[in-house]
Structure 1
């Protein structure tokens, strides 16, 4: 569920890292990376992640700062990258591009008037995953021996498929789409301080008295990344309407409204493009090679990443000791 309002419908509970240690997590890589990328840009001087020829690789700092959270809690991340953009998502992509362009115009204006704080905040909102960011992210993950999966389409759908088929223990995303795509459990707050949250599909359906199709129908009435919702319908109203009229079509008929491409969107959530994959979870990071790549090859300031690399190295030693005790 791209629509955060639908959090009200999901069964979500706090969970300790101790409860999930040893788990393999299929992480929505674009979602995870973007959060660390924007945070880095917002709070870090740009000269620390900009090469001499002006190429920005703030992603490298974000990755080194974000991965230790997995390793220190004995979690194996499997980074799942988006494939081809689903045609149904074209409007959402165009809207995001327009918002980035508007933020860029405001950033330039803030910089011209000397408002460095506002300029940094707006610059974080203009970030996109460039070809360089995509390539360097994959290479750094490879050096750190983090498994990578290339999804045929939506990364969240591939994560959900991997969790549903038992390839991994959980999906991992800050968004809610994995629930609609059928992930039995999703770990959230993996980019935040403190313990994560567990979003549970079976508990959600039990609470609502729906099957997954009913949940998808309610979500579509509220609005998803693939469609605008029906005016005047929020989460509670959507659930009530689906219960009263049986399904999405009954609600739309009763209200005399339409959702463009509704059948295709419904089918996308219920049976999304996804592939079966094999994942090698015997992770053995080459911290020295990764450090050389980030600092020597890309010129990232060493003091911005050294503590992250130290934490990764220390976590591997500690995890090995724990497994022998």
Structure 2
């Protein structure tokens, strides 16, 4: 999910939904995964499992999560990941091993009758399957929510859309958005309260560094694409980069190395992204979406009725013209 050490570096402030408006380029995988794990943990399996055993908890998550945008002056654009760079191979393998270990612990919890622990571990085994990917896109289409397919990392594409004015904000929990150059990121969009605003310019000003130097700071701590330098945390990394100018000066000073340093650095500085045009006039077909979720995929109606009602209320109270 990105470099959590950047939490100690980033300028993040609490904001009210009343103070934000416009288009949000949502890091779709990040957003979906959070709703997916929460739904699986707190919802009975039969509510989102089809007769042939396919799990579509994502549909519950989307219906519960999308209304938050519609109820405020925000238009979501969901940005899906494209191809995974080979730089991320080690991180992908690490996450796979974590899921497999959680699966083993879940089976042991089930065997001893510990339903609470099994549910907690079940959330940790979730992944965005082909079924989840396909049904998420179709439900968003029925709700008339724009979808963008990123060439590579979804958060990089979302950051590019924000930086070029296609979107007013990125919606993500991933701190890598800062490294990819996203100016304004709304966090906590999947929580029950107001969001947080992560500000790139304010972050750079606070530490008197450039975005390129911020990338170097992150690489010293470690990212999804490289191991960091042992014993170097965010404060030390900022100090080293400011004193020595860049990553390589800091590495020489610490007599340390970072594997694939040039490639990782270049990837953050100039990631694969595309210029896109997005139609943000949103006209959800709530009846068709409800039919798709409940009738076609067999999701328990009582798990999604409230979400669909909220969307319909937003249509009435906000008006479609305010979403464009």
* TM bucket normalised to smaller: over 0.9
Instruction: Give the match for residue 8 of structure 1.
Output: 8
Instruction: Give per-residue Cα distances to partners, 1:143-195, cap 9 Å, x unaligned.
Output: 00000000000000000000000001111101101110001111111011111
**Change beyond 3 A, Cα 1:130–1:283:** same
Output the TM-score relative to the length of structure 2. Answer: 0.98
Query: Which is worse superposed, 4-13 or 268-277?
Result: 4-13
Per-residue displacement from partner, 1:36-62 (whole Å, max 9, x unpaired)?
000000000000101111111111001
Distance 1:174 1:248 in 2: 25
Give distance in 1, aligned partners of 2:152 and 2:143. 25
1:295-321 deviation line (CA, Å, top 9, x unaligned) = 000000000000000001111111118
CA distance in 2 between counterparts of 1:91 and 1:295 reads: 39
Moved over 4 A (4+): 321-324
1:293 maps onto 2:282 in alignment = no
> Which residue does 1:153 correspond to in 2?
152
DSSP 3-state at the match of 2:190: coil
Matches within 5 A, 1:63-102: 63-102=62-101
Q: State the Cα deviation string for residues 104-146 of structure 1 (Å, max 9, x = none).
A: 0000010011000100100010000000000000000000000
Give the Cα–Cα distance (whole angstroms) in 1 for the partners of residues 264 and 317 of structure 2: 46
The question of 1:168 aligning with 2:167 is answered yes
SS of the residue 1:24 aligns to: strand
CA distance in 2, matches of 1:201, 1:54: 44
SS of alignment partner, residue 302 of structure 2: helix
Aligned residue in 2 for 1:253: 252
Give the RMSD, CA atoms, in angstroms. 1.3
The unaligned stretches of length 5 or more in structure 1 are: none
Structure 2 CA distance for aligned equivalents of residues 50 and 202 of structure 1: 45
- State the Cα deviation string for residues 48-85 of structure 1 (Å, max 9, x = none): 10111111111100110111111111210000000000
Which has the higher mean CA deviation after the structures are superposed, 33-42 or 10-19?
10-19
Deviations 1:213-258 (A, max 9, x none): 1111011001111111100100000011111111100011112111
**Is the Cα–Cα contact under 8 Å of residues 281 and 320 in structure 2 kept in the other structure?**
no
CA distance in 2 between counterparts of 1:210 and 1:270 reads 15
How many Å separate the matches in 2 of 1:130 and 1:148? 18
Q: Secondary structure at the match of 1:210?
A: coil
Partner of 1:18: 18
Q: 3-state SS of the aligned residue for 1:224?
A: coil
Deviations 1:244-275 (A, max 9, x none): 11110001111211101000100111110000
- Deviation, structure 1 residue 3: 2.0
Note closer, same or farther for the CA distance 1:39–1:185 as it changes in structure 2 (3 Å cut).
same
The aligned counterpart of 2:227 is 228
Report the 3-state secondary structure (helix = DSSP H, G, I; strand = E; otherwise coil) of the residue aligned with 1:228. coil
- Please, what TM-score do these two structures have when normalized by structure 1? 0.98
CA distance in 1, matches of 2:319, 2:153: 35
Contact 2:41–2:119 under 8 Å retained in 1: yes
Number of residue pairs matched by the alignment: 323
User: Per the alignment, in what secondary structure is the counterpart of residue 277 of structure 2?
Assistant: coil
Structure 2: distance between partners of 1:252 and 1:259: 8
- How far 1:5 sits from its partner (Å)? 2.2
- Counterparts of 1:122-271 in structure 2, within 5 Å, are 122-271=121-270
Residue 37 of structure 2 aligns to a residue whose secondary structure is helix
Task: Please tell me whether the aligned partners of residues 73 and 322 of structure 2 are also in contact (alpha carbons under 8 angstroms).
Answer: no
Equivalent position of 1:114 in the other structure: 113
Q: Report deviation, 1:322.
A: 8.9
1:36 corresponding residue in structure 2:
35
Q: CA–CA distance in 1 between the matches of 2:245 and 2:267?
A: 20
Gapped regions of structure 2 (runs ≥ 5): none
3-state DSSP class of the match of 1:79? strand
